[in-house]
Structure 1
Amino acid sequence: MNKQTFIGIAAALILVSYVGISVASEAGNARKGRFLFRQNCRPCHMENPVGAKPAHYLGPDAKTQAEWKAVFENYGDLPCKDEWSKISDEDRQDIFRYLHDGAKDSPTPAKCG
């Protein structure tokens, strides 16, 4: 193997490693998370919930990115922890990505629409 081939392979491995790390740090699908949030969370967290549901309004812009991270790291401490336990880890990551990406301190804050 000559020097150019070795350098090319090394560069490709570094690039693949970098892409893998950046993809892992951006885990979750925000589009799917929006759907899942609407399906699983929004019924209780609407501005004007129907019935006597005790949960307050909660949309992506209700918290900062750091606050969303803390919520998801400690979801077992929430009053609705039984509902959270019904959601798969993958779906929970998707919901996190949607809320985190639309947080009030994100580049593109979003209200639950």
Structure 2
Amino acid sequence: MHNTVEVFALEKPHLRKVSSLLSYESNHGTSITRTVHKDNIIKYQSNRYSVPLGTYKPQGDNTVYIRIEEEELIIEKTPRGVSLATHPLSRGKGQLIKIYTPL
């Protein structure tokens, strides 16, 4: 049985640098899509965030865009469009963040 150091030594010559296109920095600030659920909630990083009542449409497009700016989660109907809600970004897990500020 190989230990971690031995396995790494065997694999090291075959490792390649990760493309910068896949780095966190290249995705920072871009919009991410989420689906609005029936209870007017979206999920992000194991937490639930509210959007205004009526955002969910039973027969409509329930896709919204989220972005993070200065520790705030901004939820928009279109990328960089009109904001539906702005929440403080939660660092916890399993929380429901209900208070929102329409812009």
TM-score (norm 2): 0.27
Greater relative contact order (Cα 8 A, min sep 6): structure 1 or 2?
1
Greater share of residues in strand: 2
